[in-house]
Structure 1
Amino acid sequence: MNKSAIQKYAIWARNELRDQIAKRGYYFGIDADGINVDGKDETCVYARDGRLLTDTERKQRNELFRLVKEKGFDQVVEEVSYTWFNRLIALRFMEVNDYLPEHIRVLSNANNEFKPEIKTRALDLEDPHFDKKKILNLIDKNDDEELYRYLLLTECNALNDILPQMFEKIGGYTELLLPNNLLKADSVIGKLVSDIDEADWDVKSEGGQVQIIGWLYQYYNQELKDQTFNDLKKKNKKISKERIPAATQLFTPDWIVHYMVENSLGRMWVEGHPNDELKSTWKYYLEEAEQEPEVEEQLKEIRKEYSKLNPQDIKFLDPAMGSGHILVVAFDILMQIYESQGIRPREAAKSILENNLYGLDIDDRAAQLAYFAVMMKAREYDRKIFSRGIQPNLYSIQESNGIDDSLIDYVARGDKKLRSDLKTLVKEMKDAKEYGSIITVSELDYKMLGERIDKLKNDPSLLDIEAIERITSLVKVGSLLAQKYEIICTNPPYMGNPGMDSKLSTFVKQNYPNSKMDLFAVFLEKCIQILRKNGISGLITQHSWMFLP
């Protein structure tokens, strides 16, 4: 794998996407110097070149206008850039491995040339998402750029049906800001095809998908990470909530992940279900050291408990999952465990997604990639997994800021217990993007909360689906933080107390006084708290935890 080429492309792509997306914003009258270029307001109906906007474009621009007022132009550009980056690398991965439903490449052709097959075979597309009349009209106009733009957007929306957490429905400002000139050889798509070896995307290559996805994610953040630490070092500018992912994200090399997972998940299984054949496939598995007799007796009792476990019983959590490397390796080892029990890969893949793997991260883009990586791993074992409607228990942590009593009352509908639980959850999840998995939540009736929300979603009179989705995210994340796990493995975020802003520093001092000096130590303590009795925790830590007060 050519990491140098991957690094060069990812850093360049972030800057190129940001530049092109900013230009699109400017074209529609919005830029970094002011929300409204030339005094244009929210009712603007013309683009910068005087063209009258379509009704759809006006709605999309209004959405962009409101979002820029709320978050600022630069933050919106950053979010749209990584959204398109994630989608493009997902499309590239799927087309190389022939995982796209139509089996038609979107970014290249069968010879790996930057001649998108979807454009040359547009009339062969059978998916109902594609409008044949519109395609014919664009072909007649000989408008290749607009045709490809339409096909790319429609393909992403079609993939929402099978991979909703990766390909969120496009529309609004995200569609509006898709860069121009996509078919140029030096575009973000053109260089994605030409600059990174096709073999690096192949699941059958060494390291497979996780390596390429993880390294692309890390390198995409490289300049932002460098800038964050320069600001901390030279200006004593504390690391903000928005910068924590870039500052703390570090891709974990493959051998380290295998070492951790084989000696936690693998160990728990083979100590309760001895299997030399399984162990022989684990390159980094270490046999138990010789113990004193009294310790050996205790270990025998623990192994008796392990022997009672079925594969479906093992809950495996990565509370800072990044782009999903640890979860994907855990998937492979769980598959070996299931198969050793005579369970077929198709049934095992379904069960692993539903029962075994759990993951959380504060970074929306990382959570998207982890979700994608795990679903692609499931696809290796079950060709029809996308059509089964199964979604893994992997979530981006969302915060409750802005959720008021009126929304809580709307969801509770007079149910006092439900209202009380919701108020508690909303209080505990405030500023959750800052704290992540180290939040402690109460043991609430998450099943009841989930059932109420599902009922509301099916209510035809529901007016604010986005507000309900926010509550849904809180309930899903809260339920994961409230339960116990047999195995926890993670590469925790590293951030010393001097780098923390005042809010995070105060939080860890109040809630983790024994480990407050660094986030990695806080995570070490937190993971022990949410382990089941005799569970196993595997983390990458500094040796300093043994010596610091």
Structure 2
Amino acid sequence: MALTQGARNKIKSIVQSAKKLLMKEFESQLQQYYGIRPDGTCLLVEELTSREASVIETARLLRQRLHYLEEGIAGSNKAPEAVRQLIREQAFTILNRFAAVRMSEERNIIRESIRRGYNSEGFLVYDQLTGGAKTAEQFTRYTWYIGHVFDELAIDLPAVFDRFSPYALLFPSEKVLLELLEIINDEDLNIYRESGHQPINLWTEDETIGWIFQYYNSREEISEMREASGAPRNSRELAVRNQFFTPRYVVQFLVDNSLGRQWFEMTKGQTALVDSCQYMVKREQEIFLEKGEEIPEAKIEGANYIEHRQLKDPREILMLDPACGSMHFGLYCFDLFEQIYLEAWDNHPELMIDLRDKYMRDDFIKHIPGYILRYNIHGVDIDPRAIQIAGLSLWLRAQKSYDKLGLQPADRPAISKSNLVIAEPMPGDAHLLSEFTKSLPGPIGKLVRVIWDKMQFAGETGLLLKIEEELKKEIEIAKAEYKEYKNTSAQSTLFASPAESKAAQMAAIYGKGQKIKKDFFDTAEEEVLKALKGFSENAEGEDAFKKLLFAEDTARGFAFIELCRKRYDVIVMNPPFGAAAEKSKDYIDSNYLLSKADLASAFIDRMIEVCQTNGMVSSITTRTLYFIGSHKEWRKQNIIGNQRVKYFVDLGGGVLDAMVETCATVYSLQETIDTAFIRITKDENKQEALLAALNDSRNAFFIKNIYDFLSISNYPFCYWLDNKTLNFFQNTKKFETSSSYVRQGLGTADNFRFIRSFWEVNKSYWKKYLLGEGTIRYYNDSKAVTNWKNNGYELKNFYNSSGKIKSRVQGEDSYFHPGISWAYRTEKFQPHVVSEGEITGVKRYKAVFFDDAERDLILYTTALWNSKYFDYCIKLSMEKDYQPRFINGLVNLLPNPKVSSNLKEKLIEISKKQFYSVKYRFRIDEKSRMFSDNKFIHFENLSSYVDYRERSLMDLKNEFKSSLIIQDKLVFDEFEITKDEQNDIDEIVLKAGVNEEGEEFIETKISIINSVSSIIFGCVYGRWDLRILKFWNIDWSDEEIFKDRKHSPFFYGPKESTLDLVLPEYHCKINEMWEMPYPIEVFEEVASVSDINPITDKLKEV
């Protein structure tokens, strides 16, 4: 059962409390008892105040552990970081052990040991048998007892409970131990109650241990890491940033449709998994093909033809989680594997012959948990804590099976082997490496040194490190060197040439008796592991513990290599996403050319490599991989080109405990013609929504050929796309041609230096500059100008202190040319006409047309692009259609259709009408070049004018919205978009927001009053020419849409640029006005409108 948010919050609370308690305790112990300070400085062991042998020995081991940790830490701040890492790992191990014991108690695996502290049944029995108070203090006796419990559990779980583990050198004091037990035995964990749910014991839930693992690192700590560095700085940061527990329903979907699906196909549907795998995608008619049989040309409509899949011995079905964390995927795989083993025994007598000769059915069933852990489930993680938790999770799951079989703990088969591996560098002590390799045969010693070097990135890359390929290359090199140097003398003369010296060196390695065989690596691994055992067992003195650590880490390194060399039938994962760790970036960049931008896509590529040729890879990842422009080539070549996607669930947000939108994807290495897509992005209860979609009870299921996505710019996974729109993209030429294209605007890099308001300057080389992110449909006015003196010489030569150009003078061929512009960050695509003489800013884009009919094309295209349908078309290519970015690349790749002449004419008329409607809004704005409205003068009072202006704006707003509706209908009709398809389009278009159209026409009473007052003050101080303002008639204005307007016609004084705004037949009227004196009546008339007497008096004085 999946835990509720309330239950998870309870676990989070106890984990953070226990962590804080233990870390404070161990920091204190390190200083008080062991002479280790937070800055990494240490007292000599001889200087410690305690003379107890146990304290002295622990102090030595702690120092060796610190030294070992420092070897693996990059940078200059090694010592303090090593101490912090030591405290973290010791605290986590204690918490993990006590949580494991508590869970074991509840599963009746061990006697009650910590549930009631010193009064626990197990301890009381131990006390009775050992003499109790006669032997030692109660706390001491309890620590002895707990140590024995750990030893008993270590038989099956050495990674968690090993008494000699370097992760468990410290133990809490009595005071802290009792506080820890109080936290762990919180009654709310034993019986967690939540309204609307049955009470549960959280210690009996399989998920609990996974949430303990995730919540050990707080969100605050992760936020601090992200603030300090955009990319992870080391393996720990990479691990911590990406520890997100996968919800159970996502796990089930991914496993049901990979492991479950494979067994379903192997058995041709004759399996109980059909019913138990409730998230398996099932088609109405599944047709299983025989071996060698091909899909018939005359296919049954709606049928799913399944290629023959060979039945396998369950022990040969290998599952891998490459970023296993707490092994949530493995726990559910365990459930399915149990059923698979039972069905293989009962229904397929040709399988597992060796086991049938050895066991009866009842005995065989007892060994199934051990077989699953020994043969089937494999896991890797870069965090050693994760491997502890994963091992514990699987062990507890095996015990659960034994409990169902009624096996008492003493009768349960021992778990002798599992396949959980830490990805980490080989130990960094060069002295120990040299000492160890000298004990190996020449070729093997050389190979070990090479592996040591190649494994340095393992902690940051995990399974992305292609160590098996590196190893294969080195073995081939070794074979060639052996062949070349096997008969060469190992002796060299004093005056030997470089070639002779090298030959002697190689001969020493590949001398007599050293042979390179085909199974060289297998032999080498066996030799190395045997030598490591002897190396650690024979170690003496102060270096003994370091050599033990060295040997253990080396053995783990070879286990990692062995795991990399296997090929898996099923891979399920929640891989890390985002940037690679700093240390491994170069390796990732050079080995994952198309997927290097995000670790998640790199993991997908890598897992496809280590998967069997007919295997499956399932993952939950960020959905942006399938939409973002930076991954277009990855999608095209690695995913779409190979047609690998079998199932795709678009989950949206709210799935992982992170601000990321996700999807669940199943890849098949067999070519997949049709992909099943499920959309539940907007559903709050995604589990119910997914089940409903799988049961075909809602409209969320899509079947698509992903090859069709290549028709859309950026190749996004727009699976919801209707066939008409798909054909529209496939069969229509793109907008970008030699005569029409989109360019990004000018970036000054210093607006304070290069940008002014147009009324601040009066020089011809200051050119109109459309600044800012905001945009308005059809028309927008530029109030800014930029310095374009000498063709922008100063801008083009604006360098920084390093001699690099700072400004971005780009798309210069579009400058001063009429066209269409828009801001790149808006909720909807809202382009507007750009007149002559204008430059657009860097946060804007501009489409230009070089055609004889360019002006009609601009007007027609402006209306077409302002339609919902084209807003939808461009958003198809976006990774976040709810946070759209209308960049030039997407618009250049928009279809540019040939439409009927009737539609084109209607759209041109709509564009003109909308242009003039919006233009009115700027005519009444004195800060606009378009300011040309003097109606307020002709009203008896200000109140009447305010009412008139409000009504006018509201009427324009309604007309504007009506025209948008008419425009949308015309476009929808032209492309035959149905009502249902329009509803789907609305869902995409409105996702970014539902702000009402025409907001630019809204103006408050106070703003209108302030506007009039400002104009009057402008008259007083000589900004506006009262003669023009008094007698101006809007009919005199040259209203040509693309005209370059320098300023308002009301600017004070005679100006040639003012006459340029007026139709030629009215030039004489303007000249007559300029010749008029300033009559006092004009001032009085203007002032009287304000209803403010002091202003009237002031105007009379002027």
Under a length normalisation based on structure 1, what TM-score does the superposition of the two structures give? 0.85
Matched-pair contact (CA < 8 Å) for 1:96–1:198: no
Matched-pair contact (CA < 8 Å) for 2:342–2:365: yes
Shift of 1:215: 1.0
Tell me, in whole angstroms, the C-alpha distance in 1 between the residues paired with 2:566 and 2:136.
57
Shift of 1:489: 0.3
* Residue identity matched to 2:538: L
- Does the alignment pair 1:85 with 2:85? no
Corresponding residue SS for 2:156? coil
Tell me, in whole angstroms, the C-alpha distance in 1 between the residues paired with 2:45 and 2:431.
30
Match of 2:467 in 1: 441
| One of 447, 451, 454 as aligned partner of 1:425 | 451
| One of 35, 46, 62 as aligned partner of 1:64 | 62
| One of 107, 110, 114 as aligned partner of 2:114 | 107
CA gap 1:141/1:160 in 2 versus in 1, 3 angstroms: closer
* Residue identity matched to 2:616: I
Matched-pair contact (CA < 8 Å) for 1:228–1:239: no
Matched-pair contact (CA < 8 Å) for 1:261–1:329: yes
Residues 358-390 of structure 1: CA deviation (Å, up to 9, x unaligned)? 110001011111011111212222346865351
User: Where in structure 2 are the equivalents of 1:218-233 lying within 5 Å?
Assistant: 218-223=214-219, 226-233=220-227
Match of 2:426 in 1: 400
For this pair of structures, how many residues does the alignment match? 515
Residues 509-541 of structure 1: CA deviation (Å, up to 9, x unaligned)? 111111111111111111111111011000002
User: Where in structure 2 are the equivalents of 1:317-466 lying within 5 Å?
Assistant: 317-341=320-344, 342=346, 344-382=364-402, 383=407, 387-402=413-428, 404=430, 407=433, 410=436, 413-442=439-468, 445-456=520-531, 459=534, 462-463=538-539, 464-466=547-549
- Does the alignment pair 1:508 with 2:610? no
Bigger radius of gyration, 1 or 2? 2
Tell me, in whole angstroms, the C-alpha distance in 2 between the residues paired with 1:309 and 1:239.
44
Corresponding residue SS for 1:400? coil
Tell me, in whole angstroms, the C-alpha distance in 2 between the residues paired with 1:227 and 1:422.
38
Corresponding residue SS for 1:92? helix
Residues 334-375 of structure 1: CA deviation (Å, up to 9, x unaligned)? 111111122643232222122111110001011111011111
Matched-pair contact (CA < 8 Å) for 1:315–1:357: yes
Corresponding residue SS for 2:47? coil
Corresponding residue SS for 1:181? helix
Shift of 1:302: 7.0
Match of 1:282 in 2: 277
- Does the alignment pair 1:524 with 2:516? no
- Does the alignment pair 1:41 with 2:63? no
Matched-pair contact (CA < 8 Å) for 1:418–1:449: yes
- Does the alignment pair 1:75 with 2:82? no
Tell me, in whole angstroms, the C-alpha distance in 2 between the residues paired with 1:465 and 1:421.
21
* Residue identity matched to 1:489: V
CA gap 1:502/1:4 in 2 versus in 1, 3 angstroms: closer
Shift of 1:167: 0.8
Deviates more, 1:519-528 or 1:462-471: 462-471
Shift of 1:325: 0.6
* Residue identity matched to 1:65: R
Matched-pair contact (CA < 8 Å) for 1:450–1:472: no
- Does the alignment pair 1:155 with 2:149? yes
Shift of 1:175: 4.1
CA gap 1:96/1:356 in 2 versus in 1, 3 angstroms: same
Shift of 1:208: 5.8
Shift of 1:257: 0.5
Corresponding residue SS for 2:158? coil
- Does the alignment pair 1:311 with 2:306? no
Tell me, in whole angstroms, the C-alpha distance in 2 between the residues paired with 1:295 and 1:425.
45
Matched-pair contact (CA < 8 Å) for 2:439–2:531: no
Match of 2:30 in 1: 25
Matched-pair contact (CA < 8 Å) for 2:373–2:418: yes
* Residue identity matched to 2:181: I
Matched-pair contact (CA < 8 Å) for 2:235–2:382: no
CA gap 1:422/1:478 in 2 versus in 1, 3 angstroms: same
Tell me, in whole angstroms, the C-alpha distance in 2 between the residues paired with 1:347 and 1:195.
36
Corresponding residue SS for 1:516? coil
CA gap 1:289/1:538 in 2 versus in 1, 3 angstroms: farther
Residues 165-208 of structure 1: CA deviation (Å, up to 9, x unaligned)? 11122478834443432563xx11221012552367xxx97996
Residues 131-158 of structure 1: CA deviation (Å, up to 9, x unaligned)? x4xxx3x612672222212222332233
Under a length normalisation based on structure 2, what TM-score does the superposition of the two structures give? 0.44
Residues 54-110 of structure 1: CA deviation (Å, up to 9, x unaligned)? 11211111222343454532221111111111111111111111112xxx221024x
Q: Percent identity?
A: 20
Shift of 1:303: 3.9
- Does the alignment pair 1:261 with 2:255? yes
Match of 2:571 in 1: 488
Gaps of 5+ in 2: 71-78, 193-199, 298-302, 347-360, 473-519, 540-546, 633-1102
Tell me, in whole angstroms, the C-alpha distance in 2 between the residues paired with 1:406 and 1:172.
18
Match of 1:128 in 2: none
The answer to which structure, 1 or 2, has the higher relative contact order (CA under 8 A, 6+ apart) is 1
Residues 9-59 of structure 1: CA deviation (Å, up to 9, x unaligned)? 11111111101111222221535444467xx4221341xxxxx43112111
Shift of 1:405: 8.2
When the two chains are superposed, the root-mean-square deviation of aligned CA atoms in Å is 3.2
Shift of 1:471: 1.8
Tell me, in whole angstroms, the C-alpha distance in 2 between the residues paired with 1:206 and 1:180.
26
CA gap 1:182/1:405 in 2 versus in 1, 3 angstroms: closer
* Residue identity matched to 1:332: D
Matched-pair contact (CA < 8 Å) for 2:437–2:449: no
Which structure's residues are more often helix, by fraction? 1
Tell me, in whole angstroms, the C-alpha distance in 1 between the residues paired with 2:272 and 2:414.
32
